[in-house]
Every structure is written in C-alpha cells, then in structure tokens.
Structure 1
Amino acid sequence: MSWVAHLQPDLVLEGSILSLTPQMLEQYNLKGLVLDVDETLVPMKVQQASDELRLWVDEIRQVAQMWLVSNNLSETRIGGIARSLNLPYLHGASKPSRRKLRQAVAQMNLGVEQVGMVGDRLFTDVLAGNRLGMFTILVDPIVDSGQAVQSYPVRNLEVWLSQILGATLPAKQQNLKQHYKP
C-alpha cells in the first residue's frame, strides 16, 4: 500500500465523533472501535468526558467494543477520561506506530478488519489504522472555542499535505452524515 493510500480514511464524517452511529458500524460490519482521545473525544485540556459523550459511548457499547488509545503520555489524564467512560485504555501510543493498536485489537478478540480506528488526525490516527489494516474514520476535532485557532491549522495542514500527495477527502466511502442523523 502506498503512503497516499495510508493517508486515505475509509470514512470521513462531517462533525464530531458524536456523528458516528450504531447503524454506520453495522453497515461496515464493525464490532470494535479504537478511539483517539485528545480532540477526538474531548478538547485537549479537558480532564473528563462530557455527558453527551457518555451517552454516545453507552449507545455505541450496545453494538461494539471500545478501547481508548492515545499518544498522550499522561496516565492520570487519559486514565481519568477512560474511567469516566468506563472504557479500557492505553496511553503513550506513539501513533502512527501500530504496537498499541494491535494490543487493543487483541484484547477485543476481533479480527483487525472488524475494528475501526477513529480519530481527528490523518498523520497519526488514520495512518496508524491503515498501516494495521483497520477501517479508518476521520472526524472533526472537538476543541475548546479558545483553542480552535491554534488547533485547526495543524489538521488543515495535514489535510492539505495529504491532498498534495494524492489522497482525496471526502474519502473512499460515501460520507454518511447526510443519511444518518445522530
């Protein structure tokens, strides 16, 4: 697989992770999800999950197993978020390394093709998931309004670079937000 293909998400959602529905997971035969944490689930400096995110996790838990896998080195922060969601976690993942993604998938006892990697970054989350053979889902970052000016340029740069390299966004699969409303 070429580097361009490694940067190509299987699904691009317009909106946050809260736009991902059980129906979408069933459509793609996904039985598990590996979830990035920072700016995928919570803004960078937030210490615990929102009520809205807790409700989303409870809904998704009915159809899929979930693990948090974060590059963040703070066990205290990532562990606290994981505990607030009642989910297992790994921190210090060094994505795009696949090592901790493999650990999470192995703990789910599912084939890698049955697990989706969900994140807000192309050069970490999507690249790592594609390198392992996972179904990759790119979501819009969740950021504090005061941080948006600082945070979006990094993602926008990644999108721009990936498009220069030949990746296309929206991705290989049809954007389903228009068909499924959370």
Structure 2
Amino acid sequence: MPWANLLQPDLILGSSILDLTPERLQENNLKGLVLDVDDTLVPVSMTEASPELREWVNAVRPTVNLWLVSNNISQVRISRIAKSLNAPYILGAGKPSRRKLRQAVTAMGLPAHQVAMVGDRLFTDVLAGNRLGMFTILVEPMVNPARVSHRHVLRDFEVWLSQSLGATLPFEQQNATNPDKL
C-alpha cells in the first residue's frame, strides 16, 4: 500500500475529539472507538480528564464501545484517566504497531472496519489504524489552557511530510471526509 494511503485519515475532524458526535459515528457505521490518550483526550502535561471530556464520553458511549490505547507507559497516568472515563485501556502500545490495536478490536468483538482509531498523530495513530483496516479519524490535539502557545512541532512535521508523500490533508476544511477512502 502506498505511503499516501497509509497516512490518509478517513475523517479529518479539524477540531478536538469533543466535536466528534454520535451522529457522525452512526453516519460512518462505527460501533467502536480506539482512542489515543496523550493530546487526543488529555493534554500530555495534564493527568486528569476534563469535565467536558467526561461529558463527551457519556454522550458517545450509547453509540460505540470505547478502548483507550496509548503509547505512553505510565501505568499511573493512563489508568487514572481510564478510570475517570470508566474505559478499558492498553498502555505501551508501540503504535504504529497493530498488535495492541488488534487486541482492543478483538475485545470489542467487532470487525476492524467498524472501529475507528481516533488520534492526533499521523505517524502513530492514523498509520496504525490504516494498517489494521480500521476507519481512521484525525483530530486536533487537546491543549492545556495554561500552555495555549504550545506548538505541536512534530505533528506539523508529520502533516508536511504526509502531504509531500501524497496524502490529502485539507486542514482548512472542517470535518473533511476523505471520499477516496469511502
């Protein structure tokens, strides 16, 4: 599979995960979500889920199964976030490896194409999800309000490199669905 396809999300949200609605999940026939943690759900500099994130989880939970799958190896941090969201989790995933994603999808009892990998990074989250045949959703990173000026230099580089390799990443369009992958 060409790099452009491996790095191409099925859906570019153009905002944080908080704008991923149950209706959008149903439109795409999604029954499960594998959620990255660091900067997708919680800014990496914070150790707790926000009240807004907990509300979002409660809103989507009737629509989809949820699993947290993180490359982070901090048992204390990830388990605390998972517990506050009442969600199962896997840490030390080593994305873009598919192994831990497959473990979460298998635990949900769903086919991979009905589960979305949701994350803020192309070379870990999107690449891993696409390699497994999952629906992939790229979201904007969560920002710590105390560090609003914090730039995501590595993510910006990944976007530039992915575009150079042929991926279509129309960040100027909010909620862009990739018609080539439907």
Asked whether the equivalents of residues 117 and 137 of structure 1 are also in contact (C-alpha less than 8 Å), the reply is yes
Name the structure 2 match of 1:115.
115
| Secondary structure, aligned partner of 1:169 | coil
Q: Which residue of 2 aligns with 1:180?
A: none
Partner of 1:31: 31
- Aligned partner of residue 66 in structure 1, secondary structure: strand
Per-residue deviation at 1:151?
4.0
Structure 2 length-normalised TM: 0.92
> Residues of 1 paired with 2:150 and 2:18: CA distance?
22
Distance in 1 (CA, whole Å) between partners of 2:110 and 2:119 is 20
Query: Helix, strand or coil for the counterpart of 1:33?
Result: strand
Task: State the distance in 1 between where 2:99 and 2:175 align.
Answer: 29
Mark the runs of 5 or more structure 1 residues left unpaired by the alignment. Answer: 178-182
Tell me the equivalent position of 1:100. 100
Q: Which moved more, 1:40-49 or 1:138-147?
A: 138-147
2:3 — aligned with what? 3
Tell me which residue corresponds to 2:76. Answer: 76
Q: In the comparison of the two structures, how many residue pairs are matched?
A: 175
Q: Helix, strand or coil: the match of 1:105?
A: helix
Change in CA separation of 1:129 and 1:142 when aligned onto 2, cut-off 3 Å:
same
Task: Give SS of 2:136's match.
Answer: strand
Single out whichever of 145-154 and 109-118 deviates more from structure 2.
145-154
TM value normalised by structure 1: 0.92
The secondary structure found in structure 1 opposite 2:144 is coil
Aligned-residue CA RMSD in angstroms? 1.6
The alpha carbon displacement at 1:49 in A equals 0.6
Amino acid of the residue matched to residue 161 of structure 1? L
